[in-house]
Each structure stands twice: as structure tokens, then as C-alpha cells.
Amino acid sequence: MHPRSRLSLTAKLLLVVHLSHRVPRLMSILNLISFLGIFGLCFIAWLFSENRRLRYFPWRVMVTGILLQLALGAAVFLFPPTRDALKAFSDLLNVVFDAADAGARFVFGRNIVPLPDKPPDVNLGYIFAFRALPTVIFFSGLMALLYNIGVIQVITNVFAKIFYSTMRLSGAEALSGAANIFVGIEAAIVVKPFLPKMTRSELCAILTCCFGTAASSSLAIYVSFLKPVFPNILGHLVSASIMAIPACFVLSKILVPETEVPLTLGGIPKEPKTSRLRFRKADPSRESPTSKRQLLEDANRTSVAEVPITAEDEEIARLLRGEQPLRRTAGDESDNFSENIPQETVGGEPIERVSPLDAAIIGALDGVKMAVSIAAVLILILGLVYLFNQIFLWLATLPSPIGDVFKIVTLANILGVLFLPFTFLTGVSLDWNELWLSSVIIGRRLLETAIPPYQALAVASADGSLSDRAVLIVSYALSGFAHLASVGIFVGGTIALIPSRRKDISELGWKALFAGTLATLMIAAVSGVYYMPGNASILGEKQAPAPVVSPTPAAPSPAPPAPAATQAPLAVPQSPAPPAAPAIAPAAPAAISNPQQVPQPAPNPSPN
């Protein structure tokens, strides 16, 4: 044997011996369940695949996608420099949240948005509309500003190249998936020219990335609930958004395998450049020498590679430099060449975006629309859920045996049973109460969006119903838009971009919702692989905030039997609108008679 080969073999044996001493200490049965659960979720996706023939199975995408997630998870949980950098990044983003609160405090006052270190004069509690939604507006403006100055494009292109080179995706879906780290349905606009010719598998992958990730502006709402019990939540939500992209590609490619040749298989498409000339359609009588000088400065300052990029820009540049105009065609009807230049409008009035500040203002205005949409969806969805719960509560008052059945059969319990096997595959816990409560919280997202379940998760963590491991895994599992309210948003938005593919998109919408749900569960399993008890740096140091005055109300209804427990002193922000987590039962998944009740275990079975 060659000496170098013997040395390499010796090094490998020493590594195996070293790891063999560490594995019993580091790996537990729950970590093993989480690891096997990753492949179990792939198997479930394959069972529902459009084409289960092995020749179409995306082996490379699955292997490299899982390895990417494990590598990112190892960097976040095991590698101290990355973990410290993530904590520093989380602290930096917390400053951004404080900045958003500062703006909201000026508008709404200190009693509604109190100072961080000073209690308000009148404690009104945590009002969701005034505390969470203004942060959405601020984040939307901030992301528009970063996009205008080119920061987002740089980060997006880096991740797009990683996804394209490792998983051998088409360039368009890799670029759109990378953009989903920061935005939602807007990521499809990045590859809009390629959408009409995309394969079904590509369309499903793009939609899945929309369902499996959360827009950066929405993270503010989740952090507002979990920060008291999970101080490092923001950094983990950012890492979840990154890990979710390869997970979405893995599961969408299994569910809808690629059987055609994508148009952009050869590489990542370049984002089309826009004109840098500050030219807009205007009344010729209102033209001034200043505007002409600005056009000439732009034309001289911009390199040949950047302009002219259109016939209109080329004509303008040539005229300003005193050169001969291009030969006109017979079809030209006007001397105003800016007529076909697309313009951005606000309220029907054309605007001119030339500065980062202007981009931030437009982004903030978009954030207002997003905040209003979030509030409207929550009012509608939670109102409908309340109506269904009242129907179940009325059925529970009927004589036995019908009444006895509907004391158990509720929306929350139905969803809890549905998600129970998926929750088990994440390795959340072997304790029945903890596993059941985690399943109910994860299942509620399907109907109620992720906001009420995140609030319920914070309450369950504060009162000790869930361990740190369960809080971490469930927080990863909820970090996405995989709920029914998003189907209309993503499917409708994509159809608006490519009406010719309406039939395909409508069919793929539900498959993408399923794949996005599995993707969030997959990254939850990845976090469970690396979680080790006693590592305080994962969740961060908890600090008990001031007690909350306005608790979440619960409708009067019979409460189920539950084990005794005491309320922990740690309080979390609560809003009276969304229902909190259901109560849990010590035995079978038949525990919740009132899904709007906060999980406050009662010592004895008695009516609430």
C-alpha cells in the first residue's frame, strides 16, 4: 500500500474513533428520529408524486439539497464562529426593530408603543395592530431601499449560484428561489420573461418556494411574540428562510418530477437592465436647459455596456451628443421616443424613481398595503374559525352520544390528528402531551396563518408546556406561508403574471402548498438533528418582561381533563384577537373541546 494511502486510512480511523466517543454524548434518540424524519418526508412526497418511476426521481436534487440543509444547520448550531455571527446579526436586526418601534411610538404615543426600558403611564397591553403591523411597513421600506442600492441583488445572486451549481436546477427557478429568501410572490417577477415557457416542475418549484418561506417583513410579527421566550429567534428565522429553499426544491421535484428540458437549464438568467437616463414623457413646452443638461450628463457618464439599451435611449443619446439620428421607419408616428418607456405610477400619476429615498418611500407605501392585507386576512380567517368552533361547541351540548363525540371533535383536534405523524418525524418529543400540543400548534397554521400559532407557541413556552427543543423545532416548522390564505395570493398573483398558464398554475397550487408544508417540517427536522440540551446559546438568555395586563380571552365551554401545572412568571406579548393554543390531554388525541382557550392545565376535570 502506498504510504500516503496508509496515512489517509489511519487519519480516517482516528476520526471514526474520535467520533465514536462523541456520538453517545451528542446523539440521542430524538436526534436520530429527526434525521430519519428528513428521509421520511421525502418518502411521503414520493407517495403523492405525479410520476413515481425511478428514472424520473431527482436523486441529485434530493441528495445535494439535504446535504445543503445539513451543512447550513451545522454552521448555525455547531460552528461557534457562525453561531456568534448569527447572534451578532440577530442583535443588529433587533436594532432595526427598535427603529421601527421608534417611528411607531412617534405616531401612536408611548402608551401604545412603550419605551423598551420604561413602562407606559397607562398599560394597554400588546395591541397587535399598533405593535406588529408598523414593523411590517418599516421592513418593507428598508428592503426596498436595500434593493435600490443593490445589496439584495448581490446576496440573491450568490445563493442562486449555489443552488444552481449544486442541485443542477434551471437558472430561472434557482434565481427565483434565492429571491424568496427576502420576498414572497415578488420573487416570480424576477423571472417573469421566462414564466410562460416554464415546465410544470419549474412552476411547482417556484410556487413551493413561496409557500415554504416567509417574507422578511413578516418575520417582524413572529419575533414580537417569541422574543421574550426565544431571544435568538430572529437569527433562527433568517437561517430557516435560507434552509427552506433547498428543502422546497427537494420536495417539489419529488412531487412534480422534471420530465422536460427547461429553457434556462444552461445558466442563471441575467436581470434585465433598465435605462439610467432620467427621461420621462413631458410637455415639450416645459422642457428646460437643466433637464437637457441632466440627460447629457447621464449619457456621458454611463458606459457603453449600460446604454443605449433601447432604440429610444440610443436616439436620445445620439441627438444630445450632436450625432446624426438613426434612420426612422415608416411606422414611427411620433417624435417623442419616451412614449413606450414603462413608467411607475402611484394613484395613476407617473413618478420617476431616481433616488434610494424615493425607493424606500414607495416600499413603505407597499408595506401599508401589506399590513392592511394581513389585518384583513386575520379578521376574516379567525372569524370563520370562530364560527366553526361555535358550531362544534353547540354540537357538544347535544345529548349523548353525539354531544360526547363533539366535545372531542374540534377543528384544532382534527388538524392535530392530521399533523401528528408529520410532527413526530421532526423529533420534537417522545412525551405524549408535548408531542400532541406541538402537533396542534403546527396544524393550526393551515387555517389560521402562522401568526396565531406563533403566539400560542410563545404562551406554551412561557408556562412550561413545551421544552426548549420543542420550541425550537416548532418555530422552524411554522416559518413559512403554507396556509390556505396564501393559496389565493400566490396562485392568483402568478396567474396575473402568466394568464396563459392558468390551468397549470391552478392545478399546481395545491401540490405546492403540500410541498411547502413538508419543506417547513423538513427544516424543523434539520434543527432537531443538531439541537443539544443545555446549549443556552441556541435559544439565547431569557429575560422576563413586565407582566401583561390584557390576557387572551377564552369562550366559556367545558374544559378537558389535564394534568396539574403552574403558570411560569415569564410573560409574552398577547393580542386579544387570535386564539391561543388549545389545551392538551394526557391520553389519546381527543383533548381539546375549546380550541380558543390558552393552554392552562386545570387540576381537576370540571367545566370552565
Q: In the prediction, which pLDDT does 297 show?
A: 55
166, 68 in Cβ contact below 8 A?
yes
**Cell 404615543 belongs to residue:** 109
pLDDT band at 508 (very low <50, low <70, confident <90, very high): very high
DSSP H or E run through 151: helix 151-167
- 601, part of any domain: yes
In a domain, 16, yes or no: no
Asked whether residue 324 carries a pLDDT value surpassing 80, the answer given is no
Residue 558 makes CB contacts below 8 A (sequence gap 6+) with 396, 407, 593, 594, 607, 608
Of the listed ranges 159-173, 274-288, 307-321, 554-568, the one predicted with least confidence = 554-568
Say if residue 528's pLDDT is above 50.
yes
Write a three-state SS string for 250-266.
HHHHHHCCCCCCCCCCC
Instruction: Kindly compute the dihedral angle of the four CA atoms of residues 44, 165, 239, 40, in this order, to the nearest 10 degrees.
Output: 10
Is residue 333 domain-resident?
Answer: no
pLDDT tens digit string along 21-60? 444 444 589 999 999 999 999 999 999 999 999 888 999 9
Per-residue model confidence (pLDDT) at position 312: 52
Q: Which of 69, 142, 74 minimizes the C-alpha distance to 103?
A: 142
**Is the pLDDT at 234 greater than 50, yes or no?**
yes
Residue 258 carries which side chain, given as an amino acid letter? Answer: E
| DSSP β-bridge partners for residue 558 | 607
Range in 37-46, 234-243, 394-403, 545-554 the model is least confident about: 545-554
pTM given for the model: 0.68
Q: Comparing 349-363, 380-394, 473-487, which segment has the lowest mean pLDDT?
A: 349-363
Position 337 scores a pLDDT of: 38
313: pLDDT confidence band, cut at 50, 70 and 90?
low
Per mean pLDDT, which range of 151-155, 279-283, 443-447 is the poorest? 279-283
**Inside any domain, residue 335:** no
| Burial label, 602 (beta-carbon count in 10 A; 0-12, 13-18, 19+) | middle
Q: What is the pLDDT of residue 557?
A: 38
Q: Is the pLDDT of residue 524 over 90?
A: yes
Nearest CA to 135 among 371, 476, 369, 375?
Answer: 371
Task: Please spell the DSSP secondary structure of 88-128, one letter per residue.
Answer: HHHHHHHHHHHHHHHHHHHHH-TTTS--TTS--SS-----H
Q: What is the pLDDT of residue 527?
A: 93
Mean pLDDT throughout 122-133?
72
Specify the pLDDT at position 520. Answer: 95
Q: What is the pLDDT of residue 294?
A: 55
Lowest mean pLDDT, pick from 91-105, 165-179, 392-406, 584-598: 584-598
Higher pLDDT, 84 or 412: 412
Amino acid code (one letter) for 502 = R
Nearest Cα neighbor of 242 from 531, 476, 81, 31 is 476
Q: What is the mean pLDDT of residues 576-580?
A: 43
Is residue 217 a part of any domain in this protein?
Answer: yes
Point out the least confidently predicted range of 228-237, 384-393, 469-478, 542-551. Answer: 542-551
Q: How many CB atoms lie within 10 A of CB 149?
A: 11
Peptide bond into 325 cis (omega under 30): no
What is the per-residue pLDDT for 57?
A: 92
For the chain, the domain total comes to 1
- Whether 192 is covered by a domain: the verdict is yes
The Cβ of residue 158 has, within 10 Å, a number of other Cβ atoms equal to 11
- Quote the domain boundaries for residue 49: 27-256+353-544+552-608
DSSP secondary structure string for all residues of 16-81: HHHHHHHHHHH--HHHHHHHHHHHHHHHHHHHT-S---GGG--HHHHHHHHHHHHHHHHHHHT-HH
Q: How confident is the model at residue 590 (pLDDT cuts 50, 70, 90)?
A: very low
pLDDT at 304 over 70: no
CB atoms within 10 A of CB 498: 18
pLDDT for position 541: 66
| CA proximity to 473, closest of 513, 534, 537, 423 | 423
Question: Are the C-beta atoms of 193 and 272 separated by less than 8 Å?
Answer: yes
Q: Is residue 339 a part of any domain in this protein? A: no
Q: Which of 436-445, 448-457, 474-483, 592-601 has the lowest mean pLDDT?
A: 592-601
* Digit-coded pLDDT (tens) for 532-543: 887 666 776 665
Residue showing cell 408611548: 110
Are residues 185 and 487 in contact, defined by beta-carbon separation less than 8 angstroms?
Answer: no
Q: What is the pLDDT of residue 544?
A: 52
* Residue % of the chain over a pLDDT of 70: 67
Which of the listed ranges 138-142, 537-541, 551-555 does the model predict with the highest average pLDDT? 138-142
Residue 331 lies in a domain: no
Q: Are 546 and 416 in contact (CB under 8 A)?
A: no
Which pLDDT score, from 0 to 100, does residue 109 have? 84
Residue 339 DSSP symbol:
T
pLDDT tens-digit map of 331-359: 444 444 344 444 444 444 454 555 888 88
Between residues 80 and 463, which one has the greater pLDDT? Answer: 463
3-state secondary structure of 607: strand
Which ranges of 227-288 does DSSP label H, i.e. alpha helix?
233-255
Q: For residue 552, is pLDDT > 50?
A: no
> What average pLDDT does the structure give for the chain?
74
pLDDT at 20: 36
Would you state the pLDDT for residue 18? 46
pLDDT for 543: 58
pLDDT digits (tens, 9 = 90+) for 177-216: 888 877 766 677 777 778 888 899 999 999 999 899 887 7
